[in-house]
A = this chain, B = another copy of it.
Protein backbone atom coordinates (compact mmCIF):
# COMPACT_ATOMS: atom_id res chain seq x y z
CA UNK A 1 0.00 0.00 0.00
CA UNK A 2 2.85 2.34 0.81
CA UNK A 3 4.25 4.47 -2.03
CA UNK A 4 7.38 6.52 -1.60
CA UNK A 5 5.69 9.56 -3.12
CA UNK A 6 2.54 9.93 -1.09
CA UNK A 7 2.98 7.94 2.03
CA UNK A 8 5.07 8.47 5.06
CA UNK A 9 8.10 6.19 5.40
CA UNK A 10 9.33 4.97 8.79
CA UNK A 11 12.85 6.19 9.48
CA UNK A 12 14.33 2.73 9.93
CA UNK A 13 13.38 1.95 6.34
CA UNK A 14 14.91 5.05 4.75
CA UNK A 15 18.13 3.38 3.69
CA UNK A 16 16.04 1.23 1.34
CA UNK A 17 15.27 4.35 -0.71
CA UNK A 18 18.63 5.81 -1.81
CA UNK A 19 18.32 8.90 -3.97
CA UNK A 20 14.55 8.69 -3.87
CA UNK A 21 12.04 11.27 -2.73
CA UNK A 22 10.52 10.33 0.63
CA UNK A 23 8.10 11.69 3.20
CA UNK A 24 8.94 11.31 6.87
CA UNK A 25 7.14 12.44 10.01
CA UNK A 26 8.26 12.73 13.58
CA UNK A 27 9.48 15.02 16.32
CA UNK A 28 12.44 17.40 16.28
CA UNK A 29 14.84 15.60 18.55
CA UNK A 30 17.85 17.84 18.00
CA UNK A 31 18.26 21.04 16.07
CA UNK A 32 21.40 22.88 14.95
CA UNK A 33 21.00 26.06 12.96
CA UNK A 34 24.04 27.43 11.12
CA UNK A 35 24.08 30.47 8.88
CA UNK A 36 23.36 28.57 5.70
CA UNK A 37 22.35 25.09 6.77
CA UNK A 38 20.09 23.66 9.46
CA UNK A 39 20.49 20.13 10.76
CA UNK A 40 17.36 18.53 12.14
CA UNK A 41 17.43 15.17 13.86
CA UNK A 42 13.94 13.80 13.38
CA UNK A 43 12.67 10.93 15.49
CA UNK A 44 9.74 8.65 14.96
CA UNK A 45 8.82 5.38 16.65
CA UNK A 46 11.36 3.54 14.52
CA UNK A 47 14.48 5.67 14.90
CA UNK A 48 16.27 8.94 14.17
CA UNK A 49 17.41 10.50 10.92
CA UNK A 50 19.47 13.59 10.20
CA UNK A 51 17.79 15.98 7.79
CA UNK A 52 19.49 19.01 6.25
CA UNK A 53 17.74 22.10 4.93
CA UNK A 54 18.69 25.58 3.85
CA UNK A 55 18.27 27.77 6.95
CA UNK A 56 16.67 30.49 4.84
CA UNK A 57 13.70 28.28 3.92
CA UNK A 58 12.90 27.44 7.56
CA UNK A 59 12.89 30.93 9.04
CA UNK A 60 9.15 31.45 9.17
CA UNK A 61 8.46 28.09 10.75
CA UNK A 62 10.44 29.01 13.90
CA UNK A 63 11.17 25.35 14.48
CA UNK A 64 12.06 24.18 17.96
CA UNK A 65 12.74 20.97 19.81
CA UNK A 66 9.75 18.59 20.17
CA UNK A 67 7.69 20.14 17.35
CA UNK A 68 5.77 17.53 15.35
CA UNK A 69 6.88 17.93 11.75
CA UNK A 70 6.77 16.41 8.30
CA UNK A 71 9.71 16.48 5.91
CA UNK A 72 9.75 15.75 2.23
CA UNK A 73 13.19 15.17 0.82
CA UNK A 74 15.67 12.91 -0.88
CA UNK A 75 17.70 10.18 0.81
CA UNK A 76 21.43 10.81 0.20
CA UNK A 77 24.00 8.20 1.11
CA UNK A 78 26.65 9.98 3.13
CA UNK A 79 29.47 8.25 4.96
CA UNK A 80 29.74 11.11 7.47
CA UNK A 81 26.17 10.72 8.71
CA UNK A 82 25.58 8.42 11.66
CA UNK A 83 23.46 5.91 9.82
CA UNK A 84 25.25 6.25 6.51
CA UNK A 85 22.64 8.54 4.98
CA UNK A 86 20.84 11.80 5.52
CA UNK A 87 17.69 13.39 4.15
CA UNK A 88 18.07 16.46 1.99
CA UNK A 89 14.88 18.28 2.88
CA UNK A 90 12.98 20.02 0.09
CA UNK A 91 9.88 20.80 2.15
CA UNK A 92 9.36 21.05 5.90
CA UNK A 93 5.85 21.29 7.35
CA UNK A 94 5.01 22.03 10.96
CA UNK A 95 2.25 19.59 11.97
CA UNK A 96 1.84 20.84 15.52
CA UNK A 97 4.21 23.11 17.41
CA UNK A 98 5.33 22.44 20.93
CA UNK A 99 4.92 25.00 23.72
CA UNK A 100 7.86 27.22 24.68
CA UNK A 101 9.86 26.81 27.87
CA UNK A 102 9.40 23.14 28.59
CA UNK A 103 11.15 21.93 31.76
CA UNK A 104 13.11 19.25 29.87
CA UNK A 105 13.15 17.68 26.46
CA UNK A 106 13.47 14.32 24.80
CA UNK A 107 17.20 14.48 24.07
CA UNK A 108 18.63 15.61 27.41
CA UNK A 109 19.11 13.80 30.69
CA UNK A 110 16.13 13.61 33.01
CA UNK A 111 18.26 12.67 36.03
CA UNK A 112 17.64 15.98 37.76
CA UNK A 113 13.94 16.15 36.89
CA UNK A 114 11.62 15.19 39.75
CA UNK A 115 8.84 12.62 39.50
CA UNK A 116 6.12 15.27 39.80
CA UNK A 117 7.43 17.15 36.78
CA UNK A 118 7.94 13.95 34.81
CA UNK A 119 4.32 13.02 35.48
CA UNK A 120 3.02 16.50 34.72
CA UNK A 121 4.65 16.28 31.29
CA UNK A 122 4.24 12.49 30.86
CA UNK A 123 4.19 12.34 27.03
CA UNK A 124 7.38 14.38 26.83
CA UNK A 125 8.94 12.22 29.54
CA UNK A 126 8.32 8.98 27.73
CA UNK A 127 9.54 10.51 24.45
CA UNK A 128 12.87 10.66 26.25
CA UNK A 129 14.53 7.26 26.06
CA UNK A 130 15.64 7.28 29.70
CA UNK A 131 11.98 7.16 30.70
CA UNK A 132 10.40 5.62 27.61
CA UNK A 133 12.69 2.62 27.69
CA UNK A 134 11.47 1.70 31.19
CA UNK A 135 8.07 1.13 29.66
CA UNK A 136 9.44 -0.62 26.58
CA UNK A 137 11.15 -3.09 28.93
CA UNK A 138 7.95 -3.39 30.91
CA UNK A 139 5.93 -4.13 27.76
CA UNK A 140 8.50 -6.71 26.68
CA UNK A 141 8.47 -8.33 30.14
CA UNK A 142 4.71 -8.63 29.94
CA UNK A 143 4.94 -10.12 26.46
CA UNK A 144 7.46 -12.76 27.50
CA UNK A 145 5.48 -13.57 30.65
CA UNK A 146 2.40 -14.33 28.55
CA UNK A 147 4.45 -16.08 25.89
CA UNK A 148 6.02 -18.55 28.33
CA UNK A 149 2.77 -19.43 30.06
CA UNK A 150 0.78 -19.74 26.84
CA UNK A 151 3.46 -22.13 25.58
CA UNK A 152 3.15 -24.15 28.78
CA UNK A 153 -0.58 -24.92 28.57
CA UNK A 154 -1.80 -21.98 30.65
CA UNK A 155 -5.01 -20.27 29.54
CA UNK A 156 -5.27 -16.50 29.92
CA UNK A 157 -8.32 -15.49 31.91
CA UNK A 158 -9.91 -12.12 32.58
CA UNK A 159 -11.65 -11.81 35.92
CA UNK A 160 -13.76 -9.07 37.43
CA UNK A 161 -12.18 -6.26 39.43
CA UNK A 162 -15.55 -5.37 40.98
CA UNK A 163 -16.17 -7.74 43.84
CA UNK A 164 -18.72 -8.12 46.61
CA UNK A 165 -16.04 -8.70 49.26
CA UNK A 166 -12.29 -9.00 49.71
CA UNK A 167 -10.20 -12.14 49.37
CA UNK A 168 -8.40 -11.71 52.65
CA UNK A 169 -11.15 -10.68 54.96
CA UNK A 170 -11.77 -7.01 54.32
CA UNK A 171 -8.84 -4.70 55.15
CA UNK A 172 -7.52 -2.06 52.78
CA UNK A 173 -10.39 -2.33 50.31
CA UNK A 174 -11.56 0.55 48.14
CA UNK A 175 -15.34 0.97 48.19
CA UNK A 176 -17.28 1.53 44.99
CA UNK A 177 -20.72 3.03 44.93
CA UNK A 178 -22.37 0.38 42.78
CA UNK A 179 -25.83 1.71 42.00
CA UNK A 180 -27.76 1.29 45.25
CA UNK A 181 -25.18 -0.82 47.07
CA UNK A 182 -21.49 -1.05 47.93
CA UNK A 183 -18.96 -3.13 46.03
CA UNK A 184 -15.17 -3.22 46.25
CA UNK A 185 -12.14 -3.09 43.99
CA UNK A 186 -10.45 -6.48 43.87
CA UNK A 187 -7.27 -6.83 45.92
CA UNK A 188 -6.16 -9.81 43.90
CA UNK A 189 -7.58 -12.34 41.45
CA UNK A 190 -6.75 -15.06 44.00
CA UNK A 191 -10.19 -16.65 44.30
CA UNK A 192 -10.89 -16.41 40.60
CA UNK A 193 -7.62 -17.95 39.56
CA UNK A 194 -8.18 -20.84 41.95
CA UNK A 195 -11.62 -21.33 40.40
CA UNK A 196 -9.86 -21.11 37.04
CA UNK A 197 -7.68 -24.09 38.00
CA UNK A 198 -10.82 -26.15 38.61
CA UNK A 199 -11.93 -25.20 35.10
CA UNK A 200 -8.81 -24.98 32.94
CA UNK A 201 -6.16 -26.62 35.18
CA UNK A 202 -3.62 -23.89 34.38
CA UNK A 203 -4.49 -20.21 34.15
CA UNK A 204 -2.82 -16.83 34.17
CA UNK A 205 -4.02 -13.27 34.34
CA UNK A 206 -2.32 -9.93 33.89
CA UNK A 207 -4.28 -7.05 35.32
CA UNK A 208 -4.75 -4.33 37.88
CA UNK A 209 -5.26 -4.97 41.57
CA UNK A 210 -6.07 -2.42 44.26
CA UNK A 211 -4.93 -1.85 47.82
CA UNK A 212 -6.15 1.07 49.88
CA UNK A 213 -2.70 1.36 51.50
CA UNK A 214 -2.83 4.29 53.86
CA UNK A 215 0.95 4.80 53.73
CA UNK A 216 2.83 6.38 50.85
CA UNK A 217 6.29 4.87 50.49
CA UNK A 218 8.48 4.23 47.46
CA UNK A 219 7.35 0.59 47.56
CA UNK A 220 3.60 1.05 47.84
CA UNK A 221 1.02 1.78 45.18
CA UNK A 222 -2.75 1.75 45.59
CA UNK A 223 -3.12 0.35 42.07
CA UNK A 224 -0.61 -2.04 40.62
CA UNK A 225 -0.33 -4.54 37.84
CA UNK A 226 -0.27 -8.13 38.97
CA UNK A 227 1.11 -11.03 36.96
CA UNK A 228 -0.71 -14.06 38.29
CA UNK A 229 -0.64 -17.72 37.49
CA UNK A 230 -2.09 -20.79 39.16
CA UNK A 231 -1.81 -24.45 38.26
CA UNK A 232 -3.47 -27.65 39.33
CA UNK A 233 -2.38 -31.20 40.11
CA UNK A 234 0.85 -30.13 41.81
CA UNK A 235 2.82 -32.18 44.30
CA UNK A 236 3.77 -29.20 46.42
CA UNK A 237 5.10 -25.66 46.38
CA UNK A 238 8.27 -26.75 44.62
CA UNK A 239 6.27 -27.27 41.44
CA UNK A 240 5.21 -23.62 41.55
CA UNK A 241 8.78 -22.52 42.28
CA UNK A 242 10.08 -24.55 39.35
CA UNK A 243 7.60 -22.88 36.97
CA UNK A 244 8.71 -19.48 38.24
CA UNK A 245 12.39 -20.34 37.81
CA UNK A 246 11.77 -21.31 34.19
CA UNK A 247 9.39 -18.43 33.57
CA UNK A 248 11.78 -15.74 34.84
CA UNK A 249 14.68 -17.35 33.01
CA UNK A 250 12.64 -17.21 29.81
CA UNK A 251 11.75 -13.55 30.38
CA UNK A 252 15.34 -12.62 31.22
CA UNK A 253 16.84 -14.52 28.30
CA UNK A 254 14.42 -12.89 25.89
CA UNK A 255 15.11 -9.45 27.37
CA UNK A 256 18.87 -9.99 27.10
CA UNK A 257 18.48 -11.07 23.48
CA UNK A 258 15.91 -8.53 22.28
CA UNK A 259 16.54 -5.51 24.52
CA UNK A 260 20.22 -5.89 25.36
CA UNK A 261 21.14 -2.39 24.23
CA UNK A 262 18.53 -0.83 26.49
CA UNK A 263 19.47 -3.01 29.47
CA UNK A 264 23.09 -1.90 29.24
CA UNK A 265 22.09 1.65 30.13
CA UNK A 266 20.42 0.54 33.34
CA UNK A 267 22.40 -2.38 34.72
CA UNK A 268 25.86 -3.90 34.83
CA UNK A 269 25.76 -7.14 32.91
CA UNK A 270 22.89 -9.14 31.51
CA UNK A 271 20.01 -10.55 33.51
CA UNK A 272 20.93 -13.85 35.18
CA UNK A 273 19.58 -17.33 34.68
CA UNK A 274 17.16 -18.08 37.50
CA UNK A 275 17.19 -21.85 37.03
CA UNK A 276 19.35 -22.49 40.08
CA UNK A 277 17.94 -19.94 42.49
CA UNK A 278 17.95 -21.82 45.81
CA UNK A 279 15.12 -22.40 48.25
CA UNK A 280 15.98 -21.36 51.81
CA UNK A 281 13.96 -22.10 54.92
CA UNK A 282 12.65 -19.04 56.71
CA UNK A 283 14.19 -20.37 59.93
CA UNK A 284 17.56 -20.69 58.25
CA UNK A 285 17.25 -17.12 56.97
CA UNK A 286 16.75 -15.82 60.50
CA UNK A 287 19.87 -17.72 61.60
CA UNK A 288 21.88 -16.38 58.69
CA UNK A 289 20.81 -12.85 59.46
CA UNK A 290 21.75 -13.29 63.11
CA UNK A 291 25.10 -14.85 62.33
CA UNK A 292 26.12 -12.55 59.48
CA UNK A 293 24.53 -9.24 60.38
CA UNK A 294 23.81 -9.51 64.09
CA UNK A 295 20.07 -9.20 63.40
CA UNK A 296 18.23 -10.44 66.49
CA UNK A 297 15.16 -8.29 65.91
CA UNK A 298 13.37 -10.42 63.32
CA UNK A 299 10.89 -13.04 64.50
CA UNK A 300 8.07 -13.92 62.15
CA UNK A 301 8.83 -11.99 58.96
CA UNK A 302 11.68 -10.30 57.09
CA UNK A 303 11.87 -6.54 56.84
CA UNK A 304 13.11 -4.64 53.75
CA UNK A 305 16.63 -4.52 55.15
CA UNK A 306 16.52 -8.24 55.89
CA UNK A 307 15.44 -8.93 52.31
CA UNK A 308 18.47 -7.03 51.04
CA UNK A 309 20.77 -8.86 53.43
CA UNK A 310 19.44 -12.28 52.46
CA UNK A 311 19.92 -11.45 48.76
CA UNK A 312 23.48 -10.40 49.52
CA UNK A 313 24.17 -13.78 51.13
CA UNK A 314 22.51 -15.62 48.27
CA UNK A 315 24.65 -13.73 45.78
CA UNK A 316 27.81 -14.70 47.68
CA UNK A 317 26.75 -18.32 47.55
CA UNK A 318 25.27 -18.70 44.08
CA UNK A 319 26.39 -15.65 42.13
CA UNK A 320 22.77 -14.54 41.70
CA UNK A 321 21.11 -12.15 44.16
CA UNK A 322 17.93 -14.16 44.40
CA UNK A 323 16.42 -16.70 46.76
CA UNK A 324 13.08 -18.37 47.40
CA UNK A 325 12.24 -18.16 51.10
CA UNK A 326 9.82 -20.84 52.24
CA UNK A 327 8.28 -21.90 55.54
CA UNK A 328 7.04 -18.63 57.06
CA UNK A 329 4.90 -18.94 60.16
CA UNK A 330 1.43 -19.90 58.93
CA UNK A 331 -0.29 -17.23 60.99
CA UNK A 332 1.17 -14.50 58.79
CA UNK A 333 -0.14 -16.00 55.59
CA UNK A 334 -3.67 -15.80 54.14
CA UNK A 335 -6.26 -18.36 55.24
CA UNK A 336 -6.09 -20.30 51.96
CA UNK A 337 -2.41 -21.14 52.46
CA UNK A 338 -1.57 -24.85 52.74
CA UNK A 339 0.37 -25.65 55.94
CA UNK A 340 3.36 -27.92 56.05
CA UNK A 341 3.41 -31.17 57.97
CA UNK A 342 4.34 -29.39 61.21
CA UNK A 343 1.12 -27.36 61.05
CA UNK A 344 2.98 -24.25 62.20
CA UNK A 345 4.70 -23.13 59.00
CA UNK A 346 3.30 -22.50 55.55
CA UNK A 347 3.83 -24.15 52.21
CA UNK A 348 4.16 -20.71 50.73
CA UNK A 349 7.17 -18.72 49.65
CA UNK A 350 8.45 -15.32 48.66
CA UNK A 351 10.95 -14.71 45.91
CA UNK A 352 13.51 -12.09 46.88
CA UNK A 353 15.33 -10.65 43.87
CA UNK A 354 18.10 -8.10 44.12
CA UNK A 355 17.00 -7.12 47.59
CA UNK A 356 13.25 -6.87 47.06
CA UNK A 357 10.37 -9.31 47.39
CA UNK A 358 8.85 -9.55 43.94
CA UNK A 359 6.66 -12.64 44.34
CA UNK A 360 4.43 -14.29 46.90
CA UNK A 361 3.16 -17.75 46.10
CA UNK A 362 2.68 -21.25 47.35
CA UNK A 363 0.41 -24.21 47.63
CA UNK A 364 -3.21 -23.54 48.57
CA UNK A 365 -5.70 -25.59 50.53
CA UNK A 366 -7.86 -27.52 48.09
CA UNK A 367 -10.40 -29.24 50.36
CA UNK A 368 -13.48 -27.40 51.51
CA UNK A 369 -13.22 -28.77 55.03
CA UNK A 370 -9.63 -27.53 55.41
CA UNK A 371 -10.61 -24.08 54.18
CA UNK A 372 -13.51 -23.93 56.63
CA UNK A 373 -11.22 -24.86 59.50
CA UNK A 374 -8.65 -22.27 58.41
CA UNK A 375 -11.30 -19.55 58.25
CA UNK A 376 -12.62 -20.44 61.69
CA UNK A 377 -9.08 -20.48 63.03
CA UNK A 378 -8.78 -16.84 62.00
CA UNK A 379 -12.11 -15.86 63.42
CA UNK A 380 -13.74 -15.61 60.00
CA UNK A 381 -17.19 -17.02 59.31
CA UNK A 382 -17.17 -19.70 56.58
CA UNK A 383 -20.79 -18.84 55.73
CA UNK A 384 -19.59 -15.50 54.38
CA UNK A 385 -17.31 -17.33 51.97
CA UNK A 386 -19.93 -19.81 50.75
CA UNK A 387 -19.77 -18.62 47.13
CA UNK A 388 -16.06 -19.33 47.17
CA UNK A 389 -16.07 -22.55 49.23
CA UNK A 390 -18.63 -24.12 46.93
CA UNK A 391 -16.09 -24.12 44.11
CA UNK A 392 -13.99 -26.57 46.10
CA UNK A 393 -16.71 -29.19 45.73
CA UNK A 394 -16.36 -29.31 41.97
CA UNK A 395 -13.30 -31.54 41.83
CA UNK A 396 -10.71 -28.95 42.85
CA UNK A 397 -7.26 -30.51 42.44
CA UNK A 398 -4.26 -29.79 44.67
CA UNK A 399 -2.98 -26.48 43.32
CA UNK A 400 -0.76 -23.50 43.81
CA UNK A 401 0.39 -20.37 42.14
CA UNK A 402 1.88 -16.97 42.63
CA UNK A 403 1.68 -13.28 41.87
CA UNK A 404 4.47 -11.04 40.62
CA UNK A 405 4.12 -7.27 40.86
CA UNK A 406 4.99 -6.02 37.39
CA UNK A 407 6.20 -2.66 38.66
CA UNK A 408 8.49 -4.30 41.22
CA UNK A 409 9.83 -6.73 38.63
CA UNK A 410 10.47 -3.88 36.19
CA UNK A 411 12.17 -1.83 38.89
CA UNK A 412 14.46 -4.75 39.82
CA UNK A 413 15.28 -5.58 36.21
CA UNK A 414 16.35 -1.98 35.62
CA UNK A 415 17.69 -1.13 39.06
CA UNK A 416 15.21 1.72 39.64
CA UNK A 417 15.16 3.24 43.10
CA UNK A 418 11.38 3.58 43.34
CA UNK A 419 8.62 1.35 42.09
CA UNK A 420 6.76 4.50 41.07
CA UNK A 421 9.29 5.02 38.29
CA UNK A 422 7.91 1.83 36.75
CA UNK A 423 4.30 3.05 36.49
CA UNK A 424 3.11 5.35 33.73
CA UNK A 425 0.44 6.88 35.95
CA UNK A 426 1.14 5.98 39.59
CA UNK A 427 -1.61 6.05 42.18
CA UNK A 428 -0.91 6.43 45.85
CA UNK A 429 -2.49 7.86 48.97
CA UNK A 430 -2.37 11.37 47.54
CA UNK A 431 -2.27 10.98 43.78
CA UNK A 432 -5.18 10.42 41.36
CA UNK A 433 -3.83 12.51 38.47
CA UNK A 434 -2.58 12.66 35.80
* Integer count of this chain's copies in the complex: 2
B123, B155, B156, B396: the one contacting A394 at CB < 8 Å is: B123
Q: Distance (Å) between the CB of A234 and the closest chain B CB?
A: 9
Q: Within the assembled complex, what's the spacing in Å between the Cα atoms of A222 and B176?
A: 13
Q: Distance (Å) between the CB of A82 and the closest chain B CB?
A: 21
Decide: B391 and A123 in contact? CB cutoff 8 A: yes
Decide: A242 and B1 in contact? CB cutoff 8 A: yes
A166 contacts across to B, CB distance below 8 A? none
A138 contacts across to B, CB distance below 8 A? 158
Known interface pairs A123-B394, A200-B126, A223-B160; A429-B233 also in contact (CB < 8 Å): no
B-contact bits for A93-136, CB 8 A (1 contact / 0 none): 00111110010000000000000000011111111000010011
Decide: B142 and A156 in contact? CB cutoff 8 A: yes
Decide: A132 and B367 in contact? CB cutoff 8 A: no
Q: Distance (Å) between the CB of A245 and the closest chain B CB?
A: 10
B70, B208, B397: the one contacting A25 at CB < 8 Å is: B397
Q: Taking CB as reference atom, which chain B residue is nearest A94?
A: B395
A155 contacts across to B, CB distance below 8 A? 45, 135-136, 139
A331 at the interface (CB under 8 A from B): no
B-contact bits for A367-395, CB 8 A (1 contact / 0 none): 10000000000000000000100111111
Q: Distance (Å) between the CB of A369 and the closest chain B CB?
A: 11
Q: Taking CB as reference atom, which chain B residue is nearest A201?
A: B45
A143 at the interface (CB under 8 A from B): yes
Decide: B178 and A127 in contact? CB cutoff 8 A: no
B207, B366, B395, B424: the one contacting A98 at CB < 8 Å is: B395
Task: State which size class the interface on A falls in.
Answer: 35 or more
Decide: B397 and A162 in contact? CB cutoff 8 A: no
A268 at the interface (CB under 8 A from B): no
Decide: B432 and A183 in contact? CB cutoff 8 A: yes
Decide: B139 and A157 in contact? CB cutoff 8 A: yes
A349 at the interface (CB under 8 A from B): no
Q: Distance (Å) between the CB of A231 and the closest chain B CB?
A: 9
B156, B195, B222, B233: the one contacting A139 at CB < 8 Å is: B156
Q: Within the assembled complex, what's the spacing in Å between the Cα atoms of A45 and B157?
A: 14
16 contacts between A and B (CB under 8 A): A45-B200, A66-B394, A96-B366, A96-B367, A96-B395, A99-B394, A102-B394, A138-B158, A158-B406, A162-B222, A162-B432, A192-B424, A192-B425, A195-B434, A208-B208, A387-B434
The 7 closest A-B pairs by CB, nearest first: A126-B199, A123-B198, A45-B201, A99-B393, A25-B233, A139-B156, A98-B395
Other than the known A127-B394, A158-B208, what 5 A-B pairs have Cβ atoms closer than 8 Å?
Answer: A28-B395, A120-B390, A122-B391, A127-B395, A174-B178
A residues near B (Cβ < 8 Å) are 1, 8, 10, 25-28, 44-46, 66-68, 70, 95-99, 102, 120-127, 132, 135-136, 138-139, 142-143, 146, 150, 153, 155-164, 174-179, 181, 183, 185, 192, 195-202, 207-208, 210, 212, 214, 222-223, 225, 232-233, 242, 366-367, 387, 390-398, 406, 423-427, 429, 432-434
